Structure 1
Amino acid sequence: MDMAQALALASGALVATNLASILVAGKRLKPAGAPPPDIRKKPPVSVVVPVRGIENFSAETLERAFRLTWPSYELLFCVAHGSDPIVAEIERTAAAHPDVEARILIGDDRVSANPKLNNCVKGWQAARHDWVILADSNVLMPPDYIQHLMAGWRRNSGVVCSTPLGSRPEGFWAEVECMFLNTQQARWQYAGEALGLGFAQGKSMLWYKPMLDANGGIQALNAEIAEDAASTKLVNRLGLQVHLVSSPFEQPLGRRSGQEIWSRQCRWSRLRRVTFPGFFAPEILLGVLPPLALALAAALFSGAALLPATLLVLAAIYLPEAALALAKGWRLSLLSLPAMIVRDLLMPAIWLRAWLSGTIDWRGNTMTIGTSTCELKEAPAGS
């Protein structure tokens, strides 16, 4: 085998792996808006929502939380500071839904360098029910939100989660964020879970409270800087698995800037690099650039034309990805292909930064994420 053939085979292997992940995820996933599986038992559930500040869709996401169709549930909104403007918004929404049990819990419990986990502690402790959902404030909960999560629980489940599904983008950079969240990250996460390599996602996490309390409680999730990474490792250590809902929940994006996308993706990338370095390292092979570079090198060695090789790789990578989005009812627009390309151009730089730098921004907080220690410098209250 000569060099051109070896390079072509390597490129083909990456393209085939990409296609396989799409096929596996496509089989595992139901289309957006599909009803959850039927379940007979519907125990009461506590929904813990850490909140901070007013976000693009706060009014709508709050309203959705009060309109869930589950027979019995309580909402526990966790706020670090009573002066936070979101408190008044929660109070207005709760007053419009007096039939739903809701409480606002204020306080700052420092159990880790993770501000979200710190904010959740009081909600976990105040939860009155055995089943507890930790739900990010920007999740757009469908009416059957709880049923989706409960239906995902199996005999060997340790936690049930959902990835965020980007929707309602405004502007090009929000389209790029959709392509990061949906056909890239959600696709690979569902493909991994289908193969027995489930990883927790902190956007929506269903726990059986007695089980977690017997293994250190919510404080046990401070073993890693990211509570979802700590959740994955704890569940695996107990011989259980992470499972995902049949169809992920929306996160409406609104407008995003390029800097916001860069900062957010660098933060997630750094967290993956610190918590699961063995799984993070091969991420450099994802996207269109590695198979495209190998295919162009093969063409150069063999004397073949470069343009057909380029078009062939682009079609082999992006057409199946677009087909997955179309089949599942995910965001797909005229800007999706350019957004995919920009995403793939950014990925190597984001991957490299994750190895070189540990200082990132999290909603105004400066977080230093090292391989042995992590530190948090919080922004002033109300900022």
Structure 2
Amino acid sequence: MIALLLALVATGFLAVHYASVVLFLRRLETDRPAAPGLIGTPRVTLLRPVCGLDPFDAETLRTSFTQDYPEYDVIFCAASPDDPVLPLIRHLIAEHPQVSARLLVGEARVTRNPKINNVWKGWYSDTAEWVCMTDANLLLPPDYLSRVVASWGPATGLVSSPAVGIRPQGLAGRLECAFLNGNQARLQFAADSLGKGYAQGKTLFFNKPLIERFGGLAVLGRELAEDAAATHLMRDIGLRVRLTPLPFAQPVGRRRLSQVWNRQLRWSRIRRDGFPQLFGAEPANGSVLPGLVCLGALAGAGLSPALVLGYLGLWYAAEARLMRRAGWPSGWQDIAVLPLRDLMIPAIWATTFLRRGFDWRGNTMGDAAAAPTLHPAE
């Protein structure tokens, strides 16, 4: 009896996993070029916070100027006048005089979120009523703004989208893509397909008057992550977080294993504090718990434990199919790191309890300091 029950639970895990894959594959089949949606094509401010100089910044930030969108302007926000990315941004602005673009430097330390403190000056400058906050390491296709704007629908309060990793190098780079793509993006888009969308900070598209009506940027800085705060705000006021039809790419390149671990641990702590019920279920994410349940069923039925390899083969075959169909990195090395990723998930979950808060680009995510210090850009 127990063996049968465990077999049913293991089958249920596999069915849910396959369902999440199918939901994403359906999005691929129905994807169409962006057409004007509910709000048409309003003027949009593309707000890009920057911090430090990363290997792909010249490529990703340059895509800010190549948008096939009727009317938009770009505001780059840096916290420090000594940030090494500033010469690059000034060069890109000079290289594209046809695009309205500005660089603002300074940090308003009014929340405990350094990213919100950085974009504060841009948000409260002469921005459009529609603002798209986009991370610096996101590679924007020419129809990026068109797709984001067209995704605004009835009862929408925010449009968002996760990133998918491309161009990984080495084991750690491939592991980063395994987390970003087949795990996080798959689950986030599955939730959106079921009407339970939640925000991810890579892309956050707001109606500025709406946000101001409910407290402005200060509300988004109440929590350790602005995407968690934005999701809670939308649910509190009865509006939806909607995702774009498909995610946008982030070049990954080479990573260190410690970078992958620390980034995933940071996000895990954000989920623990922002979504405790969801966080409590995270040990069931990945193949480890389902595989153990399958082993229990096999042992109870007196069958060979080696049969669990067939179960895991079915599990990873679905994800490998998704990776190839979506155009994500899907060579044998990319598939080979999937079990390592799944082994890390419960280890990261357990480590999350060792401390509160986290460090991000040299900032300890804690209480806000006082007044702003602004430095005008040249």
Contact 2:24–2:190, Cα closer than 8 Å, also in 1 = yes
Contact 2:132–2:205, Cα closer than 8 Å, also in 1 = yes
Equivalent positions of 1:81-160 (< 5 A) are 81-160=80-159
Contact 1:160–1:244, Cα closer than 8 Å, also in 2 = yes
2:312 counterpart residue number: 314
Residues in 2 aligned to 1:109 and 1:102: alpha-carbon distance in whole angstroms: 21
Q: 1:366 aligns with which of 356, 361, 364?
A: 364
2:241 counterpart residue number: 242
Quote the sequence identity (%): 40
- 1:11 counterpart = 2:7: no
Residues in 1 aligned to 2:90 and 2:159: alpha-carbon distance in whole angstroms: 29
Equivalent positions of 1:331-342 (< 5 A) are 331-342=329-340
Contact 2:224–2:365, Cα closer than 8 Å, also in 1 = no
2:269 counterpart residue number: 270
Q: In the alignment, residue 26 of structure 1 is paired with which amino acid?
A: L
Q: 2:344 aligns with which of 346, 358, 381?
A: 346
Equivalent positions of 1:43-54 (< 5 A) are 43-54=42-53
Residues in 2 aligned to 1:194 and 1:97: alpha-carbon distance in whole angstroms: 38
Residues in 1 aligned to 2:182 and 2:35: alpha-carbon distance in whole angstroms: 23
CA-CA distance at 1:28 after TM superposition: 3.2
Of 286-295 and 17-26, more deviation after overlay is shown by 17-26
CA-CA distance at 1:217 after TM superposition: 1.1
Distance 1:290 1:10, change over 3 A: same
SS of 2:358's partner is strand
Q: In the alignment, residue 335 of structure 1 is paired with which amino acid?
A: Q
SS of 2:365's partner is strand
Contact 2:77–2:122, Cα closer than 8 Å, also in 1 = yes
Count of residues in correspondence between the two structures: 368
Distance 1:190 1:36, change over 3 A: same
CA-CA distance at 1:359 after TM superposition: 4.4
Contact 1:175–1:336, Cα closer than 8 Å, also in 2 = yes
SS of 1:126's partner is coil
CA RMSD in angstroms, aligned pairs only:
1.7
SS of 1:192's partner is helix
Residues in 2 aligned to 1:292 and 1:220: alpha-carbon distance in whole angstroms: 41
Q: In the alignment, residue 48 of structure 2 is paired with which amino acid?
A: V
SS of 1:335's partner is helix
Alignment deviations for residues 318-363 of structure 1 (CA, whole Å, 9 cap, x no partner): 1111111222222211112221111001000111112332243312
Name structure 2 gaps, 5 residues minimum: 370-378
SS of 1:84's partner is coil
Q: 1:326 aligns with which of 310, 324, 327?
A: 324
Equivalent positions of 1:276-295 (< 5 A) are 276-295=275-294
Q: In the alignment, residue 200 of structure 1 is paired with which amino acid?
A: A
Residues in 1 aligned to 2:115 and 2:199: alpha-carbon distance in whole angstroms: 15
Q: In the alignment, residue 336 of structure 2 is paired with which amino acid?
A: P
CA-CA distance at 1:365 after TM superposition: 2.5
Q: In the alignment, residue 171 of structure 2 is paired with which amino acid?
A: F
Contact 1:44–1:129, Cα closer than 8 Å, also in 2 = yes
Contact 1:30–1:328, Cα closer than 8 Å, also in 2 = no
SS of 1:68's partner is coil
Q: In the alignment, residue 356 of structure 1 is paired with which amino acid?
A: L
1:180 counterpart residue number: 179
- 1:301 counterpart = 2:300: yes
CA-CA distance at 1:79 after TM superposition: 0.7
SS of 1:43's partner is coil
SS of 1:107's partner is strand
CA-CA distance at 1:238 after TM superposition: 1.3
Contact 2:67–2:143, Cα closer than 8 Å, also in 1 = yes
SS of 1:267's partner is helix
Contact 2:112–2:222, Cα closer than 8 Å, also in 1 = no
**TM-score w.r.t. length of structure 1:** 0.92
CA-CA distance at 1:203 after TM superposition: 0.4
